[in-house]
Chain A
Amino acid sequence: MSPDNEKLLVVENLATTFSTAGGPLPAVGGVSFELMANETIGVVGESGSGKTVLTRTIMGLQQRTNVNVTGSVLLDGHQMVGASEQEKRAVWGTEVAMIFQDPMTSLNPVMRVGKQIDEALRVRLGMSRADAKVRAIELLELVGIPSPEHRYQSYPGQLSGGMRQRVVIAIALACSPKLLLADEPTTGLDVTIQAQILNLLDDLKERLHMSVILVTHDLGVVATRTSRIIVMYAGRIVEIGSTREVFSAHRMPYTRALLESSPKVTNDPHTRLVTIPGRPPNLLKLSDGCSFAPRCSFATDQCHKERPELQDADEPGHAFACWNPLPATRKRTVKTT
């Protein structure tokens, strides 16, 4: 995987805050990163770490009321923050598309799947009904759906979860987007189907020259499929770097905890799974210090009082946010499947 030398996406100091009854809720707080053309980046973190909100904000798909977005998202020259719905519509589908988490809810249950693929082709690309149908069937074939002509007429309820997710992918790819946001695309699927869908995404990414942001809580998913990884905690990036670097030379204790808590094939049978003690912080009551401090065994007074900013590690492009990082070494024993 060699990323082209062209920045497709530049996110700067992006913050998404929801107004709730309990006060402002900073779901994403000051996230900055860049994504090259044809690159796949993984975003990992626990549930509630802001991964989904981050991808929706990048796309500008967040809810329209009670939300405040600041910072900058420059997507192939389009500023997504503060853009009107109409401006964003011009970008959606053709520049950026999203694969949603749960294919059981992300397809319109009362619309034939063919029509749902056609729609983007006809509205966005101005295709005729007949052309759109031909293209839609091609897309169904592309995502590996058997007898696509027949499936074109199916309602989502007549398809299995894996099939539905393939349809969702076909819809996302319909207008050949440059950036594909995959928000936990396999979480709602059976384990055996998960690998199929991920391999399909990998394959399509190569064939169609897309950049992909792959959001997951499963480190095994990103290990072999991404060039870089962003580790998120409580709405912030706590570590970012090349996949190899994050796995073998991570500095942030949270990254280590996350890696240690994934099951490994090399473990003896019946090994107790390592878990991270405590629970993710309440975003309504964030302290001034490091959000991970209450769960961190290395935490000092400074950690509780002052928030660490991202600092560069030895390798270029690798950064972490920690006052008491793990020592810089390339010999981490942690391996994943």
Chain B
Amino acid sequence: MLLGIVFIISVGSFYLIHLLPGNITTVIEGPGASPSNQAKLYKLLGLNKPLFQQYFIWISNVLRGNLGTSFISQTSVASTIRAALPIDLEMMFLSQVVAFATAIPLAMRSARKPDGWLDRIFSAGSFTLLSVPSFIVIVLLVLFVSVKLGVPHTGPSSYAPFNQDWIVNLESMGLPTIALAIGSFVVYFRVLRSDLIATLQEEFITMARSKGISQRRIMWRHAFRPSSVALLGTAGVNIGGLLAGGFIVQYLLNIPGLGYTLIQAINESDYLLVQGIVLVVSVGVVLINFIFDFVINIVDPRISRE
């Protein structure tokens, strides 16, 4: 099942990238290159072979653990990905921590008194945030935090690897984390709020109340777990999306993560690098969703039984 999905994605991405206009030989040799040189290089890179044969060569190398070497930079695709991937993972991790840490308590507050004034404020606020795309958010954040307030290491190109200078690293991760967290927060808040409201209507919540236990305990021990199935499902999809979709933020802030690298590779028709990144990301997305499905089964034992 998982392998099937990854196979389909690998074929699809391979085909799509080769549909792109532009000729890689022009990128490598420059616009003034003679047609005969271009043709020679074309043959050298193996691009004259039929597409399915090219795919076969590539995938058999991939299966042997070799993602190939970039036509452009002559560095191995695997090492490029290894350098960029931790940035994406860090961004993803930080933004999800922030998103969950804000969405869960706020959703609980809201669900306690649906349509109360707190709920109205939170819901209206989340709806507003929902309608603002992350590239607007990041631009505004840069404008206020980096430019107006002058907080160091928050503007574009201030990224430093974690093991080099972790203070600068965390500072530079602040804005992208917030920008990505907002998008996740809105979704998590809304999903959890409505599920909590539904769960709190259930008879077993009244039953729990009748034991004389605190509101807080009812929320965390009784209402949260049965309400978190949709939240986890959404989070799985959302995190997968972040892995692929953080690129706007990375692009705007010049953070050399996978998304940023991918855009560059597409611009340069760097076939092998694009294919490598797409493959890694899609495997990651599939894996994350698989893990979340597994977690959901643990959280709600009814699902695996039925």
Contacts and interface: CB of A to CB of B under 8 A. Distances in A.
Interface of A: 59, 61, 65, 85, 88-94, 97-98, 100, 102, 105-111, 119-120, 123-124, 155, 157-158, 168, 171-172, 174-175
Interface string B163-175: 0000000000000
Nearest to A85: B215
B222 A89 contact: no
A109 B222 CA distance: 9
Contacts of B217: 119, 123
B74 interface: no
Contacts of B210: 59, 61, 92-93, 97-98, 172
Contacts of B149: none
B212 A124 contact: yes
Given A89-B213, A123-B211, A123-B213, A108 B305 contact: no
Contacts of A120: 211-213
A105 B204 contact: yes
Of the candidates B202, B213, B215, the one having the most CB atoms from chain A within 10 angstroms of its own CB is B213
A61 B212 contact: no
**Chain B interface, >50% SS class:** helix
Nearest to A95: B212
14 contacts: A61-B206, A61-B209, A89-B212, A97-B211, A105-B203, A109-B226, A110-B302, A111-B222, A119-B208, A120-B212, A123-B211, A123-B213, A168-B207, A171-B207
Interface in B190-234: 202-204, 206-215, 217, 221-222, 225-226
Contacts, number: 84
Given A120-B213, A124-B213, A157-B302, A107 B221 contact: no
A65 B115 CA distance: 11
B221 to A, nearest CB: 7
Given A88-B212, A98-B207, 16 more contacts: A89-B212, A92-B211, A93-B211, A97-B210, A107-B204, A108-B222, A109-B300, A110-B226, A119-B213, A123-B213, A123-B217, A124-B211, A124-B212, A155-B301, A168-B207, A174-B211
B98 interface: no
B299 interface: yes
A119 B211 contact: yes
Nearest to A65: B113
B300 A90 contact: no
Interface string B286-305: 00000000000001111001
B225 A92 contact: no
Contacts of A106: 203-204, 206-207
Q: Taking each of B210, B213, B222, which has the highest tally of chain A beta carbons within 10 Å of its own beta carbon?
A: B210
Contacts of B214: 89, 123
A110 B202 contact: no
Contacts of A109: 204, 226, 300, 302
